[in-house]
């Protein structure tokens, strides 16, 4: 049986390469939020989710899920698009 490996990247490296993110709060339906749609298209949004064991991880892009958090980065995250972002350090995020 072949085991697939998931590529990962450390959150600190993403911040180093793409700038300090800030949390993004959704106040309206995402499809109607023009700023959010622009940031998604430019590759500046990361979705933070949790595993069943409670560990946090990030993925590049917007994935609407219950309990998900969203981070907006000043630079594009496209170079990390195929990776799972691990080691989330909230002290590196602007409030």
Terminal alpha carbon distance of the chain:
45
List the domain boundaries for the chain: 8-92
Residues 6 or more apart whose CB falls under 8 angstroms from that of 67 comprise: 49, 50
Q: What is the mean pLDDT of residues 30-57?
A: 94
**% of the chain beyond a pLDDT of 70:** 93
pTM greater than 0.85 (yes/no): yes
Residue 92 has pLDDT above 60, yes or no: yes
Residue 66 has pLDDT above 90, yes or no: no
């Amino acid at each position: 049986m072949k085991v697939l490996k998931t590529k990962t990247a450390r959150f600190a490296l993403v911040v180093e390469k793409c700038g300090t993110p800030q949390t993004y709060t959704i106040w309206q339906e995402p499809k109607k939020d023009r700023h959010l749609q622009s940031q998604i298209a430019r590759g500046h949004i990361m979705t933070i989710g949790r595993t069943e064991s409670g560990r946090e991880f990030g993925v590049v892009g917007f994935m609407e899920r219950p309990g998900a958090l969203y981070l907006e980065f000043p630079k594009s995250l496209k170079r990390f698009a195929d990776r799972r972002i691990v080691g989330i350090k909230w002290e590196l995020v602007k409030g």
